[in-house]
Amino acid sequence: MNYINGSWVPAKSGETLDSTNPANGNVVGTVPRSGKADVDVAVQAARQAFERWRLTPAPVRGNILLKAARILEERKQSLGELVTKEMGKVIAEGLGDVQEAVDMGYYMAGEGRRMSGQTTHSELPDKDMKSIREPLGVWGIITPWNFPIAIPGWKIFAALICGNTLVYKPSRETPVCGVEFTRAFHDAGLPKGVLNLVTGTGSEVGDALVSHPGIDGISFTGSCDVGLAIEASCGKLHKPAATEMGGKNAILVMDDADVDLAVHGAIWGGFGTTGQRCTAASRVVLHRAIRKEFTQKFIRRARALKLGDGLSAEVGPLINAASLEKVTQYVEIGRKEGARLLCGGKPTKGRGRGFFFEPTVFDKVKPGMRIAQEEIFGPVVSLLECKDLKEGIAIVNGTQFGLSSAIYTRNVNSSAVAERELQSGLVYINASTIGSEVHLPFGGIKSTGIGHKEAGGLGGALDTFSRVKVVYRDFSGRLQRAQLDTEAVR
Ligand code: UN1
């Protein structure tokens, strides 16, 4: 069901979509296949609710968000299992997905009593000045399938605490997670119309949201193609587009690294979530002195990974048939480019039907190859070689993306140089490229994003979902001219 103006309703057309489990093809749930007409009512509901919600004191908004976060936490087990069933990631990660939203909920609820602006001193007597945050209005929230609870959590808790109202479109692949996420807000007593859910496809619901005149901003996480199209549409309509797109993240392993630790990190970063994270470590750049040792250990670990249904295995399926096809093609591309396939490379049936693909490692990958440049979004890791720190950093930086990067080294000076020179929104030292926490901003540079960040902290989602208004108040009762009547310069 859609959730519009506080009620659960079908699509106006009555059409539906099935959501299936990528591990076995079972139907997980059936949701409305909505269209423009449904988006219209949802936007109208959000517009109507905006006046009251924006004037609701932020701490009161925070109390409701706190309740929603508590409800998500109470339902963590069942929601985590739902994530695994609908999206395919292994259960520990399904639970982590929910936990990330819970963390964000608690954090943003607290922002209700903080959300600070600035106060400072005027150059003139009897005058004060401050900056305050205010909401933008109605946002369209378009989320991906790979973190079907966490990413809606990042966006929705932040947008709501700022006083915006929302129309939320979850991915076509994970709409049931979207329904259950929304239910937590309903059960927490969020006033009607503040959060509206419209399920359906990107071309039918997403496009209608982006071009809707009643929508003041779009927050999107997903592919580069779609993100760039959203930026272009929003640009023409003069509304903000907060887009979070692809990555081609690398781990740099130096000659002085703890190689075993780096292998653990590369396995987790490369094959966690079956490589379907925008932060996945799809490249590993190895200092030539440890290349052999790392490669042997890495391959051994990759081969031993247990593939299967995420409820019991170590690596789950890919999301759908198109993804399986794409990953298969990239393996072919890598072979043709002259990279050496060290393990994996094939779809497998796993333990049933389902979109399983073997953990795959390519060696002898050159920085310019397509498999080292393009986002595959699957369990495929490319190993590259470098001769020193400088060359390693250049290889890591040598892609169009800039989301996450990592260095393993025991040399404090190398870590400092890497921290300064790596061109990405996130830099990890002696840790993998994945594992961000909710209280610092999340987001990338270059083709990954244009600077609107997710999650918390200075420069995080509060800056995306609120705008700053500056207020000057003169209580002198006479005309005072800044710069002209200022004592010091007269
Ligand atoms: C994503 O890959 O789309 O750091 C988000 C991480 C997670 C979030 C990833 N906390 O990998």
- Whether 85 has a pLDDT exceeding 70, the answer reads yes
Those residues with Cβ within 8 angstroms of residue 456's Cβ, 6 or more apart along the chain or in another chain:
104, 107, 108, 111, 158, 438, 439, 440, 441, 462
Mark out the alpha helices in 56-116 (DSSP H runs). Answer: 58-74, 76-87, 91-111
pLDDT digits (tens, 9 = 90+) for 366-388: 999 999 999 999 999 999 999 99
Which residues, 6 or more positions from 149, have their beta carbon under 8 angstroms from its beta carbon? 72, 79, 83, 97, 98, 100, 101, 177, 181
In ligand 1, the atom with minimum distance to the C-alpha of 247 is 2
Minimum CA distance residue for ligand 1 atom 11: 434
**Residues that are catalytic:** 244, 278
Compute, in angstroms, the gap from residue 442 CA to the centroid of ligand 1. 8
Band of residue 123 on the pLDDT scale cut at 50, 70, 90: very high
The CATH number of 250-429 is: 3.40.309.10
Buried b (16+ CB within 10 A) or exposed e, 298-308: bbebbeebebb
% of the chain with per-residue pLDDT over 90:
97
147 ligand 1 Cβ < 6 A? yes
pLDDT surpassing 70 at residue 352: no
Q: Note the CATH number of domain 2-245+448-472.
A: 3.40.605.10
- Whether 158 is in the pocket of ligand 1, judged by its Cβ within 6 Å, is no
At residue 489 the predicted structure's pLDDT band, cuts being 50, 70 and 90, is: low
Beta carbons of 413 and 431 less than 8 angstroms apart: no
How many angstroms does the Cα of residue 280 sit away from the middle of ligand 1? Answer: 8
Burial label for 51, CB within 10 Å (0-12, 13-18, 19+), is exposed
**In the predicted structure, residue 272 carries a pLDDT above the cut 60:** yes
CA of 276 to the centre of ligand 1 (A): 9
Tokens encoding 360: 């795959």
490 pLDDT above the threshold of 70: no
pLDDT confidence of residue 353: 76
pLDDT tens-digit readout, 143-173: 999 999 999 999 999 999 999 999 999 999 9
- pLDDT-based confidence at 487, cuts 50/70/90? confident
**Ligand 1 center to 274 CA (angstroms):** 13
pTM above 0.85, yes or no: yes
Cα 383-384-389 angle, rounded to 5 deg: 130
Domain ranges of the chain: 2-245+448-472, 250-429
Please give the Cα distance from 273 to 271 (Å, whole number): 6
Q: Ligand 1 atom closest to Cα of 437?
A: 10
Mutate to test the pocket of ligand 1, among 97, 278, 428, 448 (most ligand atoms within 8 A of CB): 278
Q: Token match 């099935």: residue?
A: 18
User: Residue 118: CB partners within 8 Å, gap ≥ 6?
Assistant: 130, 131
- Does residue 4 have its Cβ closer than 6 Å to ligand 1? no
Which residue's structure tokens are 């954090």?
Answer: 107
